[in-house]
Structure 1
Amino acid sequence: MKNTLRVLVWTALVLALSLVFADPNEASAKEFKDVSKKHPNYTAIQEMQKAGYITGYPDGTFRPGEPVSRKHVASLLDQVLKFPQPPTDKLVFTDVPKNHMYYKPIMKLYNKGIISGGMDGKFNPNASITRIQMAKMLDLAFELNMKEPAQFEDLHFLHWGYVHASALYSNGVTKGDKGKFLPNQSVTRAHYAEFLYRAMKVGKSPSGSSVTKEKAVDLTMRLPIVIEGIRIQGKVDNQTYNQLRSKQLPYATKAFVDGLLKEDYPSVCTECDSFLFPGLTIEPSMRFNYKQPDANTLQVHTVSFSNVLSSGGFVDYAFKKESGSWKMDDFDWTEVGKKNFELTKAEAERVVKLNYAYSSNVKITYVSQAKKTGEDPVTKEKYPFTEYKFTVDTKDGRDTVLVNSDDGLAY
């Protein structure tokens, strides 16, 4: 009886460790019985296995369709990125005691701010992880830079995980599924191997006192969305500004929180498309300047294209580094006028392409351009700009699109 019990315990232990890293020096090139070369995630699974990151099950299978658990995700991330040991052992999650098999990797991720657990004080280590939870963990673990916002049908930009999904999307770690992100769908073992493999190829963003352009773009894209989401949710929940204030402090300086953000809070709208910060898409890839006066200060100058809801303008952000984190410190917006974008024909074509990003088999053709006259909103002075004309052919037919060179408006 005792021998039988030992066998059962040992078998359970082997199965529990089946997705944990092996020693990289003992990597092999074995094939899994249930992962053929035609499997869509075959390459990722094989490369991860060759590197010693996954071992599969004792029966030679990988079981690609099974959900991956939160504890295994934590363990794999820790093994890949080798997070430092927390300074002290402490009990944070009631369901992850100090003698838990995955206590150390879970606490390492918690110490780095990658995981936070639930409102009930539990981590739920055995629960499967959803795609949006995975996006957050990979984004924070690899410190990815958000290069552009993603537009998934089922993931609104005010969703808490939107910036994380966008970071993965803009770095090629995730592609979505037919225009959707499927945020609440459980991640399978095969898909997690694929996501982690892609994230590893992107690599961890470089750290240092000097800010790269990619990091400057990330702050310009990410922080306004996060702060806007907090403010709108606060209005939805009927919170006073004092109740909301602390939620903004991790992302904005005290001066900005108690200044512009406080002044604007009464005008926050939950039933319209009017926002404090402009919604940037491809603009930073076309017009973007930044400078770093010192190690803890960053200044950004970019543009925001006009659309049917808002005018085009010049955008200025100031960021400050506090306690090791970059925070928004100031914001300004100036409507275009005599001083405007002066978009080239190639840039105007990119604006058209953006508007048809979710149509298949799109053909954009330049037709002509014409001189138009605008009026400066402040000085009332007249100024010339170019109107570009394109035709766009899709499966639904042909459209004619005009783009203004002064503010990027496409209509």
Structure 2
Amino acid sequence: MCKKSSVCVIHHGHPANIPHYVASSELIDQYSGKTKTTTHSSRRDSEAATPRVLSRTFLLLGEQGLHIKRLAHLPRCTRDLNPDPLWMFQPRPCGCKGQRTCLLCEKEMGEQVMPSWVTQSQKEHAIVYCPECDLAWPGWDTNTWKCHPNHQGEGTVFPGVKIIQNFISEEEERTLMDSIDEVPWDLSQSGRRKQNYGPKCNFKKRRVRCNTFSGYPAFTKYIQNRFASVDILHSFQTVEQCSLEYSPERGASIDPHIDDCWIWGERIPTLSLLLDSTLTLRKFNGPETKYNLLDRKTYPSQVGEDGSVKGYDTLSKDYAKLQTQTDNMQAADSAEEKYSSLMTQPTRCSMPDVVRVPMPRRSLLVLYGPPRYDWEHGILREDIPSRRVCITYRELTPTYLPCGPKAEVGEAILQAGKVFWDHRSYYSLDQEGTVVT
């Protein structure tokens, strides 16, 4: 079972009344996906007419387990103006919300720096991927890959990672960054800023809208064109392009996650700029209901076990086989066996819980296969010593491609993704990159 918790506060009319805290817990069965919600009150019904003073605390259930947060940790002005602990669950001026925090809001809340989501034991047993030999070697410091071929210890095969060094030149990086910084940045969570281009997706309701998707800035077109020279990106069609900025002054990071599997396809390319950094992968042991992982059973893999990219004809045949297997499926417990011939399965071999993947400056990293679906990926604060910018690209799942059942919806998104526009005209900028009023 996986457990989620939420908190709400009931205010009473008289100002002398102390807020009454009510918490609800939601149990999620990782096999059936069914939920059961239970409400817990801070006092019995018989006490409803006689409020008593309670400790002003509330609970958060996050990656590190259950935390007790005291309202005294909130800044005095916030406590005076809004003593409601639900303030934590609202978007904050820094861009964070919920359990996500950056150095700015942690300072405002009077908290200590949030602990790392990687334990000391996991650090001691981690392995580092080497882009030169495509093996992972014992260690935590990502720079150890640079000692190739003089690695220490035993190498581990870790398929599903492709790193192309110097994907763009130094001059291209300078020009690209000049143009990126002319475009307005939007605040994001955990100290990041972003520039996002793509359809609007609601991953919970599984809805997508492309009426506001108008394409990408023209200064990035050559990057997408260059994907054609990468074998693992054969027939890749970009439908989302997201620039992210990581700043050490804001304590920028990104929590471990798996990109949504309902609409985003298998291959995830990321171009790293300004800084050598590290992507930290952690084994995912949660329910398949998370990240829409169950959707993987509804479409074939886009990359074969040998690393070759499947064309539409092959995907169509795999879809037909998949449909036949689905129709003949008699019991849910046999589903994994029935899909095994078409689906990328979780890694079963003995392997450390954490893999460190280097992201050299100006390199292109592509995740696919097991690292895409079986491992959460994130970026730790300690791996951002100076400003870093990256551009991540996403494609559609086969469900929305011409071979899939929702090809019509996908076609509208694909057509919008073929448009490139001049960013100066789009954002009404003058030659200095200033907004013209």
Task: Name the TM-score, length of structure 2 as normaliser.
Answer: 0.25
Which structure carries more helix by proportion? Answer: 1
Q: Relative contact order, CA 8 A, sep 6+: which one is greater? A: 2
Task: Name the TM-score, length of structure 1 as normaliser.
Answer: 0.26
